[in-house]
A and B are shown apart, each in its own frame.
Chain A
Amino acid sequence: MLQVELIFLGSLLGILAATGGGGEAVFAQSRNEAHARAAFMEAFKVFSHPRCVNCHPAGDAPLQGEDSRPHTSLRLRRGSDGQGVFAIKCGNCHQAQNQPGLHMPPGAPYPLKDGAEDQAHRGEPRWHLPPAATPMVFEKRMPGQLCRQLLDKTKNGGLTPEQLVHHVNTDPLVLWGWNPGEGRNAPPISHAEFVHKVQEWIDKGRACPR
């Protein structure tokens, strides 16, 4: 990575010498773009991990396990709101916390409301797929594809980049990825590092890998 940067820097200096200066801003922008892309690629290790992919599937049903296989023997469907359908909605089995033991349903609570437990949803699980209108697919996405999708407000649930950072920093469903229950692996970087990389990607101009 350092070698690539040095070659790039050398090329840029040559261009600046030939053009007689005025390229400092261009250089800074290019450096930021490289940093942004690098930060996104680090965050992509989380986005592409089963803890995220399993509930951001390409199809109409959730996945499970480290191998992202179809969810048990149930014929699950997303439903229009992502909550599932009929007698096998997500919240029919999943609870507000992980159930103890191997192969038991994981769970997560509702987000805090004004810093405290949301009394309207006390004890209720918040476990669901994205809604059908905005499926927010992570499964089999290339880094550039996912990057552009995350920035597209028509596809990301209407989030601004700042709201995206807030979401990955505080949403219990995201936090669950690092407390997934027995038999499930957490993503390869810490939650703090993940949030830092998403913030860095945003701060450095949100450039996407090609």
Chain B
Amino acid sequence: MAQIVFTLNGQSVTVDAEPEKPLLWVLREDLGLTGTKYGCGMAICGCCVIHLNNDAIRSCVTPVARAEGKAVTTIEGLSRDLNHPVQRAWLEVQVPQCGYCQPGQMMSAACVLAQKANPTDADIDDAMSGNLCRCGTYPRIRRAIHRAADIAGGKGGRQ
């Protein structure tokens, strides 16, 4: 066991965990943040996507030791008041069906928009190809990403 210190959604946390324990389970079991989901445990489905120093990572295969000294952002920390452009767009377009994959979808989408303000459909095809949705919400995800880009660019107004 080791003490691992990192910033979680803007606050410093210290966890006692085996350094190899996947960050997904530290978040869910040790820290009680269950917004990040387990889908495959193999970095294939994207349900577990969170941000590590503003980069999207797959927490189901990321050892908690990798978070040492870094900033972790989960779906719970994407914004304080549901006012992140991705969250607003997701609500406006009513993307989710069962909702299980959506935290990972939104975290990936937020990462895309942080890197490219107006992604093309081809960019979205590429960038979101690692997030699977059995309900097939892909068309709405695409619309919502474009809508989030508009909101972030000031075309959406405040809620």
Contacts and interface: CB of A to CB of B under 8 A. Distances in A.
Q: How large is the interface on A (under 10, 10 to 19, 20 to 34, 35 or more residues)?
A: 20 to 34
Interface string B110-139: 011001100000010111111100000000
Contact of B55 (A91, A96, A104): A91
Given A92-B58, A93-B43, A124 B127 contact: no
Contacts of A92: 55-58
Interface stretch (A8-16, A32-40, A73-81): A73-81
B66 A77 contact: no
Nearest to B70: A123
B17 interface: no
Contacts of B126: 75-77, 85-86, 88
A99 B115 CA distance: 28
Chain A binding surface SS class: loop
Interface residues of B, number: 29
Contacts of A72: 44
Interface string B33-51: 0000000001110000100
A73 B129 contact: yes
A123 B125 contact: no
Nearest to B104: A87
Contacts, number: 71
Contacts of B61: 93, 95, 99, 104-105
B149 to A, nearest CB: 13
Contacts of A96: 66
Given A104-B42, A105-B43, A88 B63 contact: no
Interface in A54-93: 72-77, 85-89, 91-93
A103 interface: yes
A86 B58 contact: no
A114 to B, nearest CB: 21
Interface of A: 72-77, 85-89, 91-93, 95-96, 99, 101, 103-105, 122-124
